[in-house]
Amino acid sequence: LREKFEAELSEVRDSEAIEKIRVAYLGKKGSVTELLKGLKDLTGAEKKEFGQTINLLKREVDEKITAQVEAIRKAEEERLVNSAERYDVTLPADTAYGSYHPITLVQRELEEIFASMGFTIEDYREIVTDYNCFEALNIPKHHPARDMQDTYYLDNGQLLKTHTSAAQNTIMRKYGAPLRAIFPGRCFRNESTDASHENTFFQMEGIMIDKDISISNLIYFMKTMLSKVFKQDVNVRLRPGFFPFVEPGFELDISCHICGGKGCSTCHGSGWIELCPCGMIHPNVLRAGGIDPEEYTGFAFGLGLTRLAMMRYGIKDIRDLNSGNLKTLAQFNHE
């Protein structure tokens, strides 16, 4: 049996074959195992003698198999090292350093500010249902407000999210009230592109829901938050704005961060810059999110991340941001 085993073992070249041999000899019905089972028919001295011999054989078979497995592994490694996959780690690298996208830089900066104010940061999909993008946001089918956003519909009946508000319902359902969350994300609208319009852009939505949240909380919060973003004290003012998912809804302006409100070319002499839409979350939206509007109120705002990145880095053409042109995009990284 030992000779047969050694002959067979010397033939194998891969680990699968070795496993077969192991089963054939040491498995439940293996030859060595059968020998051991045979011991019970023997008597005293015989049993002892054969027992020792068979156990010796068993150990030997076991050790030889282990050694062979190791040998095969070594050979395999050797083959890899000497093949095309070999590379020289000591060669100098001639690749340029990578860089963060300006939108990523602004997004991370904002996330840090919001996290310090107790907000959780939520991720959300880009392909969403009509319900999440519109219906849950108080925009029923055939409502004219749907025309405000030119939507890309997909063959499967879903759509590319047109705004980060599409995540509101899911996040309200996930956490309930009270709630503070931001959700950055990529949005899509079927628009023709020019220097200030793109069909693909980034927003960062924020919601704060609690007992007794009012418009003055909204104003104070936005002022504090935006002063951190622009690294200087900014004033805010609200103008009425219409969005079906907020009531009342506003367009929020900040005092120009370049001239401090005195009037310059950036703010076209007005001292104000239109920054972001916001408002008090509509009771229907809270209700759809499983939150009782009698008990809780809240505000929501939609920051244009793409727009903020352009302001921060003085990027004139929005198309540069989606261009994938590394020469253009890499210059913002060394602040």
| Interface positions with ligand PHE (CB under 6 A) | 163, 165, 205, 243, 246, 249, 277-279, 300-302
Nearest distance in Å: CB 271, ligand PHE: 24
Q: Which is nearer to ligand PHE, 35 or 229 (CB)?
A: 229
Nearest distance in Å: CB 180, ligand PHE: 15
Q: Which is nearer to ligand PHE, 77 or 126 (CB)?
A: 126
Q: How far apart are CA 63 and CA 325, in angstroms?
A: 60
Q: Considering only CA atoms, which of 104, 127, 58, 6 is closest in space to residue 335?
A: 104
Nearest distance in Å: CB 300, ligand PHE: 4
The structure tokens 């062979």 sit at: 68
Strands 236-240, 246-255: parallel, antiparallel or unpaired by DSSP?
A: antiparallel
Give me the count of residues in the chain: 335
Q: Which is nearer to ligand PHE, 204 or 267 (CB)?
A: 204
Q: Which is nearer to ligand PHE, 27 or 304 (CB)?
A: 304
Q: Which is nearer to ligand PHE, 178 or 248 (CB)?
A: 248
Which helix (H) or strand (E) segment holds residue 34: the answer is helix 31-38
Nearest distance in Å: CB 134, ligand PHE: 11
End-to-end CA distance of the chain: 75
Strands 127-128, 120-121: parallel, antiparallel or unpaired by DSSP?
A: unpaired
- Minimal CB distance residue for ligand PHE: 302
Q: 112 a known binding residue?
A: no
In this structure, the number of other CB atoms found within 10 A of the CB of residue 38 comes to 11
Nearest distance in Å: CB 165, ligand PHE: 4
Q: How far is CA 152 from CA 140, 146, 164, 201, 306, in A?
A: 17, 12, 15, 14, 19
The structure tokens 């960062």 sit at: 204
Nearest distance in Å: CB 288, ligand PHE: 15
If DSSP codes are grouped into helix, strand and coil, which group holds residue 44? helix
Q: Which is nearer to ligand PHE, 138 or 255 (CB)?
A: 138
Ranges of H-type helices in 231-318: 283-288, 305-313
Q: How far is CA 65 from CA 16, 22, 184, in A?
A: 12, 7, 57
Nearest distance in Å: CB 184, ligand PHE: 13
- β strands within the chain, DSSP E: 120-121, 127-128, 159-160, 179-188, 200-210, 236-240, 246-255, 272-281, 297-304
Q: How far apart are CA 143 and CA 191, in angstroms?
A: 20
Q: Which is nearer to ligand PHE, 276 or 329 (CB)?
A: 276
Annotation: binding site: 247
Annotation: binding site for Mg(2+): 247
